[in-house]
Amino acid sequence: MCGIFAYAGTENVVPLLIEGLRSVEYRGYDSAGISVIDEVGEIQTVKRGDHGASLGNLASALDGDSISGVVGIGHTRWATHGGVNHQNSHPHASSNGSVSIAHNGIIENFLELKDELMDSGIVFQSETDSEVLAHLIGNAVTSGRSLREAVIGAASRIKGNTAVVAVSASEPDVAVGLRVGTAGGIVVGKNADAAVMASDVIALLPYTSEVIYLESGEIVEIERGVIRLFDLEGSSISRKPIVTSQNFEAAQKGNHPHFMSKEIAEQPDAIQGAMRGRAAFTKGTLSLPEFSLAQGQIKAIDRVVLTGMGTSLHAGMFGALVIESLARIPATAENSSELRYRNPLIGPNTLVIAVTQSGETADTLAAMEHARNAGAPQAVVLELEGSQATRVADFTLPIRAGQEIGVASTKTMTASMTTLLQLAVVLAETRGVIGGEQVRNIVGSMAELPSLIATTLSLNGQISELADRLSKFEDLLYLGRGAQLPIALEGALKMKELAYIHAEGYPAGEMKHGVNALLGPDIATVVATPRNDLYEKMLSNISEVKARGGEVAAIATEGDDTVERLADHVIRVPDCPELLQPFITLVPMQLLAYRTALALGRDPDKPRNLAKTVTVE
Ligand code: M6R
């Protein structure tokens, strides 16, 4: 959840650390800090713990070159142990200040280690679990070990998933990184003058596109132009770098005020990316070359379980609906944090599909491990290739949306849905449930998806007015049925995370079973109700809300006069085939949350208490 960046080279590291941290800030922004080995070989640390303003304040504090050096580490924090303040900010120093570390993950046995260290006379400066690492490593360095040996020693003492970088005053040219488990990765790269490591490849792109991802249980030592990899026994490892397809320019905001608005606007391209090389529009065919499960195995699948968290779970719910309706295989979507602990009945004929933008979400990875151990064939639908999930799954289906920086997922949801829809078609065709003609019709409709989304994006004006109105409410309900249910749930999630308005998503049919008690003038209801088989049912739900004095905003098909008469506000989306409607109603949900956040003065790129990549449970 935290962001890590480290540099060893020839240039003044201070501005480079700040730049590196900007690239990983989306992973956590409760605090920011750096440690630099200065010209006289001492470690200088500067940090700020001011929530979303931390990195900016750190950069201002460092303006004027108060410190400089050519080796350093930096960190942006998402708080787990200890509040958001200066003391708990990383990097953390060993007791004599000769070692400094920045950490991502959770040290599960930290209390036990802390007691032991305190008994030996060490006084802790923070409430974090991470500080024990600083002291374990510092003690070993003081007793004569190299920084690398000291980090290996610390790795053998801690329990839990951890990524850590460290510098030591006794080795002023070197920084060391360690990865144990799945608390977010460390990726490393070099050019002639420097070597760098970070928790995200985009921080490395100004230096190189040839990168090495650390596996769990690996240590890396970087020095100007040199990378050395080791295992936890201290034996040297040789691994060739891979060339990353990530692009630095694409990870910038461009002319947009926020990453989120840029990423919402990029959805037509993201969907095209997800269809590239898969949908052949002139022939009207579809293939998913990355999904190479044998035909016999595809025919033998008796159940599909999709899993993910948050927005990815909502994309998975859409996937389950289209797989079941097109391929006629029983399909469900399950929250990974539940799936991982309930000992589910999964076997060789269950197809498991994980959905995870980052490929690093701790609960999703654990559910995937479970499926792997149960012998289920497994695919992962993701953006970040090279991430841990690709190593667990049998098949990686990249969504190719381009990196998403905004904490709120937008384009990765539409691109995941596009990928899942294509998988549903491939499963259906391979099992002989649908034929060439039906595939041609679906592919023909999908060809229009990017331009339909582009039309929907132009609704921004209508949405601003509605956002101003919704920003006055403290409670919102989002209702949908069928394939609009995941969209309603996602609309509510977006509104909660960005505008901090209490918003609940419900199946519209569930209302009479309890939730109707909440209806009245103090709660507004957003309904996703394009024209489809369930449309009439949704009209009844709108009437029921209105009858109880509630205000209703409907996302409905343009030209729908009936909804116009019933609802207080109507966002009109283009008419399109039913299979594509969830895409078309999702975009206004995203824009609505974005605009409401702005109306309330929130920063949509840095929602409070959240981080983009949730690498801890
Ligand atoms: O990286 P993942 O897709 O696995 O992340 C799962 C969730 O944390 C994520 O979808 C989250 O709900 C969204 N960023 C919220 O907008």
Among candidates 518, 499, 472, which has minimal Cα distance to 589? 499
CA separation, residue 227 to residues 35, 197, 257, 571 (Å) = 20, 10, 38, 55
Q: Is 535 exposed, middle or buried (0-12, 13-18, 19+ CB in 10 A)?
A: middle
Ligand 1 pocket (Cβ < 6 Å) reads 308-312, 356-358, 361, 364, 407-409, 497, 613-614
Omega before residue 582 within 30° of 0, cis = no
- Could you give the CA distance from residue 267 to residue 125 in angstroms, rounded to a whole number? 46
CA of 361, closest atom in ligand 1:
4
Q: Which CATH class for the 259-447 domain? A: alpha beta
Q: Is 91 helix (H, G, I), strand (E, B) or coil?
A: coil
Residue nearest to atom 12 of ligand 1 (CA): 310
Place of tokens 């904490």: 407
Beta bridge partners of 230: 219, 236
Average pLDDT over residues 25-48: 93
> Could you tell me the pLDDT band of residue 68, with boundaries at 50, 70 and 90?
very high
Instruction: Please choose from 26, 200, 358, 613 the residue to mutate so as to test ligand 1's pocket, defined by most ligand atoms within 8 A of CB.
Output: 358
CA of 313, closest atom in ligand 1:
10
Task: Note the Cα 64 to chain centre separation in Å.
Answer: 35
C-alpha 203 to ligand 1 mean position (Å):
20
- Residue 227: which region, alpha, beta or left (left: phi > 0; alpha: psi -120 to 50)? beta
Q: Which residues belong to CATH 3.60.20.10 in the chain? A: 3-244
C-alpha 163 to ligand 1 mean position (Å):
20
C-alpha 309 to ligand 1 mean position (Å):
6
Among candidates 25, 148, 20, 35, which has minimal Cα distance to 78? 25
Q: What would be the CATH architecture of the domain defined by 3-244?
A: 4-Layer Sandwich (3.60)
- Could you give the CA distance from residue 485 to residue 579 in angstroms, rounded to a whole number? 14
C-alpha 310 to ligand 1 mean position (Å):
5
Least confident of 26-35, 77-86, 146-155, 288-297: 77-86
The larger pLDDT score, comparing residue 29 to residue 46, is at: 46
Which residue pairs, CB below 8 angstroms and at least 24 apart, start in 54-58? 54/29, 54/30, 54/89, 55/18, 55/21, 55/22, 55/25, 55/29, 57/32, 58/18, 58/21, 58/32, 58/33, 58/34
Among candidates 42, 98, 106, which has minimal Cα distance to 77? 106
- Could you give the CA distance from residue 52 to residue 156 in angstroms, rounded to a whole number? 34
Going 181 to 46 to 25 to 74, the CA torsion angle's sign is negative
Going 226 to 229 to 233 to 235, the CA torsion angle's sign is negative
Q: Which residues belong to CATH 3.40.50.10490 in the chain? A: 259-447, 458-599
Rg (CA), the chain: 25
| Contact between 304 and 331 (Cβ < 8 Å) | yes
Kindly report, residue by residue over 514-552, the tens digit of the pLDDT.
999 999 999 999 999 999 999 999 999 999 999 999 999
**Active site residue ranges:** 2, 612
Strands 279-280 and 285-286: antiparallel
pLDDT of 65: 67
Kindly report, residue by residue over 110-160, the tens digit of the pLDDT.
999 999 999 999 999 999 999 999 999 999 999 999 999 999 999 999 998
Kindly report, residue by residue over 156-188, the tens digit of the pLDDT.
999 988 899 999 999 999 999 999 987 678 999
Least confident of 78-82, 250-254, 396-400, 582-586: 250-254
**Residue 461 CB contacts under 8 Å (≥ 6 apart), including other chains:** none
* Global confidence as pTM: 0.85
Instruction: Please choose from 264, 311, 417 the residue to mutate so as to test ligand 1's pocket, defined by most ligand atoms within 8 A of CB.
Output: 311
| Contact between 368 and 354 (Cβ < 8 Å) | yes
End-to-end CA distance of the chain: 10
pLDDT of 252: 80
Calculate the average pLDDT of the chain: 94
Residue nearest to atom 15 of ligand 1 (CA): 408
Fold type of domain 458-599? Rossmann fold (3.40.50)
User: 253: which 2 tokens?
Assistant: 């905001």
Give the DSSP H or E segment for 373. Answer: helix 362-373
Question: Within 10 Å of residue 115's Cβ, how many Cβ atoms?
Answer: 11
- Could you give the CA distance from residue 365 to residue 176 in angstroms, rounded to a whole number? 26
Least confident of 45-54, 90-99, 339-348, 441-450: 45-54
For residue 243, give the amino acid letter: V
Place of tokens 């004027």: 64
Strands 502-507 and 475-480: parallel
The percent of residues in the chain predicted with pLDDT above 90, rounded, is 87
- Could you give the CA distance from residue 74 to residue 33 in angstroms, rounded to a whole number? 6
Q: Is 71 helix (H, G, I), strand (E, B) or coil?
A: strand
